[in-house]
Amino acid sequence: MNTRGQILIEHALVLLFLILPLMAGVIRWGTLEYHRTRCAYAGFLEARSRLIRENQAVTLNLNCGFGVSESITLVPLHEIESPDPLPSLSGWVSKASSLWEELSHFSSSSSEQDSG
Amino acid sequence: MGGALTLLVVLVGAGFGLSMIHIRAIAQRQINLDRCAGAAILDLREFLSKLKASNQRIEVARLATLPLLPTPSGPAALELFKQLLRVESWIQQSIRLVWIKHQVQWDTLPGLGCKLHDRPLRSLYPEFKFEVVEPEASVFETQSSRFLAALPREIRLRISVAKLKTEALLRLEQNHEWSVQWSE
């Protein structure tokens, strides 16, 4: 066997035992991830539609096949804690509210005095 | 042969990869869009809740003041009511200013900081007839709405980006509470 033949055999062996399994693994992983992405996206769209239709929390446990499973949970708006939109305002709104409580207290005590 | 096979696998893999990135980007953008509309409508609910609370304080004060008017403490009670109206008017005007600030921010910084800056946002910040309390309104007004801030019964916020869209709805229910939900 000459050097060229030896190189060809080595190349074929590397291809057979290293490159091909590696590629098969990469292809399998890529296909599964692609499948998972598509399945999750379809599940997300379905969960979103149900959330809009039913207005209650939706949890979808997807069994996408090939051992792939995903879980999607969407929460309705009324279950989300409302952020305070008026951070700078809330301080003195509460001050004004407490002022009003004092005023109403004064009002009620004056009415009690009147009735008394 | 090995080179061609590798090239084929790389091309197919790149196709799958790009497709996955595309799908995930669409899903992420839709989620951001929903969050954006949801956060904005929750903000609006907070605005309206504060206005409603202010209206309630005025109404309670009016009902408390009316029976006192014929009594000797009537003028003092009326003056107290007027002061309250001035305070509440100031509160409502301030809420209105913040509302306007949010409207301007929505137009200039699309989505009040929503992470959608990569695409133009097509939306208008909701508008409604916003009448704040008249500070000089009389406690004798038979129609109490004369000195109460006008509030809407329903607000819809629609946002669209490219082919994606979302809508959030804020509605006054029978129990006089505002409900929020995503809608279509």
Q: Which of A77, A103, A108 sits opposite B42 (nearest CB)?
A: A77
The number of domains in chain B is: 1
Question: pLDDT by residue (tens digit) across A95-108?
Answer: 334 433 443 443 34
Test the B interface: residue of A27, A86, A92 with most B CBs within 10 Å: A86
Does B8 map to a domain?
Answer: no
Helices of type H across chain B: 2-65, 74-108
> Which of A111, A26, A104, A75 minimizes the C-alpha distance to B11?
A26
User: The domain containing residue B146 runs over which residues?
Assistant: 23-183
Closest-CA residue to B90 (of B127, B132, B56) = B132
**Residues B93, B132 contacting (CB under 8 angstroms):** yes
Task: Judge whether B16 lies within some domain.
Answer: no
Residue B72 neighbours by CB under 8 Å, 6+ apart: A114
Of A92 and A4, the structure prediction assigns the larger pLDDT to A4
| Contacts with B66 (C-beta within 8 Å, 6 or more apart), sequence order | B139
- Does some domain include residue B87? yes
Closest CB from B53, B94, B182 relative to A77: B182
Has residue A3 got a pLDDT over 70? yes
Report d(CA A38, CA B16) in Å as an integer.
11
Does the CB of B136 have a partner CB in chain A at under 8 Å? no
What pLDDT digit, counting tens, does each position of B82-116 carry?
A: 888 889 888 988 888 888 887 777 766 655 446 55
Domain spans in chain A, listed from the N-terminal domain onward: 3-82, 86-116
- Asked, for residue B48, whether it belongs to a domain, the answer is yes
- Could you tell me how many CB contacts below 8 A there are between chain A and chain B? 126
pLDDT averaged over chain B?
78
Chain A nearest-CA distance from B139, in A, is 15
Residue of B47, B60, B88 with shortest CB distance to A85: B47
Q: Is the pTM of this model over 0.90?
A: no
Is B138 contained in some domain?
Answer: yes
Q: In the numeric block, which tokens belong to residue B131? A: 């009448």
Please tell me the predicted confidence (pLDDT) of residue A90. 38
Cα–Cα distance measured from residue A13 to residue B115, given in angstroms and rounded to the nearest whole number: 51
Cβ contact B5–A30 (<8 Å)? no
B91-101 as b/e: b if 16+ CB within 10 A? bbebbbebbee
The average confidence (pLDDT) of chain A is 71
CB contact under 8 A, B6 and A23: yes
Answer whether residue A111 shows pLDDT above 60. no
Assess contact for A37 and B20: CB atoms under 8 A: yes
ipTM: 0.71
pLDDT at A106: 37
Residues 144-183 of B with CB under 8 A from A: 168, 179-183
Lowest mean pLDDT among A68-82, A89-103, B7-21, B39-53: A89-103
Scanning the structure block, which residue is given the tokens 């009040």?
Answer: B112
* pLDDT on residue B151: 78
In a domain, B6, yes or no: no
Q: Which of A82, A93, A110 is nearest residue B42 as measured by Cβ atoms?
A: A82
